[in-house]
Copies of this chain bind each other. A is one copy, B any other.
Amino acid sequence: MVQRKRNTPKKYKPGKIREQNYARILDAAEALFATHGFKGTSMMQIAERVNLPKANVHYYFKSKSLLYAKVLERIIDTWNQGLEDIKAEDDPKTVLSAYIAAKVQNACEKPLPSRLFATEIITGAPYLKDYIKEDMREWIKEKTTVFNQWIAAGKLKPVDPVRLIFLIWASTQHYADFETQVLLLTNRQEYDDEEITKTQQFLTTIILDALIPSYSENNTPKGMIDNPVTFDKTLLAV
């Protein structure tokens, strides 16, 4: 992709330094903004986290607002995955299971973006208002169309597709945004793989059971739903 015209002197190569520091600062900013919010995070804290003087951070990012915007931008770019191109011919059971599972996995293993997004929304989406009104809204419309086709074909019970999407978002992102609460209540230090799997199965079962005609009859093997006694001993063990 790098083009160089003939007889033109080699341009100064920005080196990996910029690229590297740029990314490191973004990472640090993401973590701090996610936990302490925009106002609660200082440029000094970000600088200390990447072992650079504050002025150096300002060298790469002109202002705190711009840095915050770039962090959000990167999150949005990464988030444009999942339910990419579903079609009326697809099987809603397969598609939705995979989507829910991916969302839970993401929430548990990479909670910071979700938390940052949550605080952005709670504070009135000052930076993402346009993105929500345009891109996100378009995404919802596309999915709604397919959901309604599924409903018309009898593959899905007649429910409000938008509210369904909200339900999936809320129930999965909860494990990222409210991780502190979940871990405190369940007396855990972190999510382990078994717990993630169980959460995936739980949400998939509950939601698909209510959505797919005769889902539970065919898709509820032993152990798919937690044994309540076993659970009581493990998850709520003091």
Main secondary structure, interface of A, reads helix
**Interface membership of A43, Cβ < 8 A:** no
Q: Name the distance in Å between A187's Cβ and chain B's nearest Cβ.
A: 8
B184 touches A132 (CB 8 A): yes
B132 touches A185 (CB 8 A): yes
Q: Please, how many angstroms separate the alpha-carbon atoms of A174 and B177 in the complex?
A: 11
Q: Name the distance in Å between A121's Cβ and chain B's nearest Cβ.
A: 5
A124 touches B35 (CB 8 A): yes
A interface residues with partner B (beta carbon < 8 Å): 34-40, 115, 118-119, 121-125, 129, 132-133, 136-137, 140-141, 144, 147-148, 151-152, 157-163, 166-167, 169-171, 173-175, 177-178, 180-182, 184-187, 198-199, 202-203, 205-207, 209-211, 216, 225-229, 231-232, 235-236
Q: Which of A137, A163, A202, A227 has the most CB of B within 10 A?
A: A163
Q: With CB as the reference atom, state the residue of chain B lying closest to A177.
A: B122
B167 touches A171 (CB 8 A): yes
- Residues of the B chain whose Cβ atoms lie less than 8 Å from the Cβ of A210: 205-207, 209-210, 216
Give the residue of B40, B141, B175 whose beta carbon is less than 8 angstroms from that of A123. Answer: B40
- Residues of the B chain whose Cβ atoms lie less than 8 Å from the Cβ of A137: 184-185, 187
B227 touches A158 (CB 8 A): yes
Q: Please, how many angstroms separate the alpha-carbon atoms of A35 and B39 in the complex?
A: 12
Instruction: State whether A228 and B40 are in contact (beta carbons under 8 Å apart), knowing that A167-B171, A171-B170 are contacts in the complex.
Output: no
Q: With CB as the reference atom, state the residue of chain B lying closest to A131.
A: B184
